[in-house]
Amino acid sequence: MKVLLVNPPRFKKVSVIREDRCEIIEKNSVLPPYSLLQIASLLRKRGHEVSLIDANGENIDYPAFEKMVSGMDYGAVIFRFIPATFDWDMQTATISKKHSDAPTIGICWTLGSSVKTVLNEAKDLDIYLMDEYEAVAPELIDRLSAGDGLSDLAGIAYRHEGEIIVNKDASPLKNYDDIPIPAYDLLKSFDFYYADTKHGQPFTIMYTSKGCPNSCIYCTMANTKWKAKSAERVLEELRHLKQNYDIKTIMFFDEAFTINRKRVEKITQAIIDEKLDIHWYCNSRVDLLDRDLLEKMKQAGCKAVCMGIESGSQKVIAEANKRISVEKSAEAIKMVKDAGLKVYCSFIFGLPGENQETVNETIEFIKRTLPTGGEFNIATPYPGTRLHEIALEKGWITGQSDFRTMNQNKSIMRTEELTSEEIERARRQAHHALFLNPKWWAQNIGYVIKNPEDFSLASKYALGALKIAFAH
């Protein structure tokens, strides 16, 4: 079967990230559609013919997209969508329906617990691929190609004779090494892609694992099975990217790259031994790092580690079921900086237990630890999370709350002691506490003096930080 994969256009000219662990509007980054590239390689393995339109990456608007689609022949279309751009993304299905009878298949991790709502509101979406797309997408396309039924295919919801049928959840692939190298050849160019600023290109993201066994109440990936590619499979993909595309920078997009220390040690040692000369970034938890590992990571080309700190208040951390201590977070930030790496930290304002005192604790934590960079978000009660259940129980949101309003930049949920307006004010305070802090500027200027190759990136990041601070 001929299958068309689509990463929909940018939302009002602003880039969108449509990956499981990160489904957000993101004006400062343009990422390759890695999950669609993985699906493409899996479909090719089954003998299907695949094409890709990365409208977001190539900055193709809907009129141009429709012109492209109107002249194409395909038997199914698969696209990704996210809550914040739901109606916008669904235009992909509507346009396809105008020119083809091909089934429209949508993927969104965040709304997997709101399946019937999604299909009721998206009349041109035929099939919702809810979870484990690596296992489900190939089997789904095989069945559509053969004209077989879908009633026993786990991981999807679909329309049948006027009814919405929701099948059981799918099981993940047993062996993630069975996933072929993503179909990078479908990308027109790597020049479109960057994270935060255009620096270190060619750039790509890469999953070496997926899932997180931790139980943080706000996270859409909480309590999901950790599924990893072996060190050997990761290195195979790194070599492919280096040899065929001269990739210079990679963002490992795992929830926590360092969950398995031995795997990381094998990957980093091979990068060193083979002189792959790749700069890379990763996400981790503060309790999954140590000095020896950080030194090995730096030797292997790691430039920065991203960590979710969330709050400088132990009270808030405990209620969020984060299972770390504030002091452990502070120690980890210092440890990463002492290793000569940059450390980017994310914080969330408005979690249960938040009040002005806990906000002040977080602001003081930011001033005390001075991470290299910071991302300051607002607690968002995504469907399927424990936070969503708590917010409903306490009346902070209603059952009729519109998922389209759920993004991390604007509060839709109060706490017991703070209003939405006060939560948004706390976020502004955090931007000022870091980005207008003379000590932060001195620290980062010092880093650039020691690492002059970072001047371009640091300059662009600094300008962006100032814009954010003064905009708030």
Strands (E), 285-428: 302-310, 342-349, 373-378
Position 413 scores a pLDDT of: 94
Domains and CATH numbers, the chain: 2-166 (3.40.50.2300), 194-471 (3.80.30.20)
For 197-222, the pLDDT digits (tens) are: 788 899 999 999 999 999 999 999 99
Position 361 scores a pLDDT of: 98
Position 36 scores a pLDDT of: 98
Position 399 scores a pLDDT of: 76
Position 330 scores a pLDDT of: 98
For 93-114, the pLDDT digits (tens) are: 999 999 999 999 999 999 999 9
**Tokens found for residue 9:** 């256009």
Mean pLDDT of 269-280: 97
The sign of the CA dihedral 199, 454, 295, 346 is negative
Do you know the residue count of the chain? 472
Question: What is the average pLDDT value for the chain, to the nearest integer?
Answer: 95
What single-letter amino acid sits at 112?
Answer: G
Q: What pLDDT band is residue 457 in, cutting at 50, 70 and 90?
A: confident
What lies within 8 Å, CB to CB, of 228 at 6+ separation is 176, 208, 209, 259, 260, 263
**Percentage with pLDDT > 70 across the chain:** 100
Position 226 scores a pLDDT of: 95
Position 271 scores a pLDDT of: 98
What lies within 8 Å, CB to CB, of 394 at 6+ separation is 416
Higher pLDDT: 369 or 458? It is: 369
Position 231 scores a pLDDT of: 98
Q: Which residues of 84-118 are buried (b: 16+ CB within 10 A; e: fewer)?
A: bbbebbbbbbbbbbeebebbbbbbbbbbbebbeeb
CA distances from 375 to 220, 343, 378, 465 (A): 18, 11, 10, 10
Q: Do 392 and 419 form a contact (C-beta atoms < 8 A)?
A: no
For 392-439, the pLDDT digits (tens) are: 999 999 877 798 988 888 999 999 999 999 999 999 999 999 999 999
**Tokens found for residue 39:** 């699906």
What lies within 8 Å, CB to CB, of 271 at 6+ separation is 235, 238, 278, 300, 301
Which long-range contacts (C-beta less than 8 Å, at least 24 apart) are formed by 20-26? 20/109, 20/210, 20/221, 21/109, 21/210, 21/220, 21/221, 21/253, 21/255, 22/253, 23/82, 23/83, 23/84, 23/108, 23/109, 23/110, 24/82, 24/84, 24/407, 24/408, 25/84, 25/85, 25/407
CB atoms within 10 A of CB 287: 17
Position 472 scores a pLDDT of: 59
Position 453 scores a pLDDT of: 85
Q: For 454, which DSSP code?
A: G
Mean pLDDT of 449-470: 82
CA distances from 295 to 267, 290, 333, 336, 341 (A): 14, 9, 14, 9, 9
For 112-129, the pLDDT digits (tens) are: 999 999 999 999 999 999
Q: What pLDDT band is residue 149 in, cutting at 50, 70 and 90?
A: very high
pLDDT tops 70 at residue 279: yes
pLDDT tops 80 at residue 366: yes
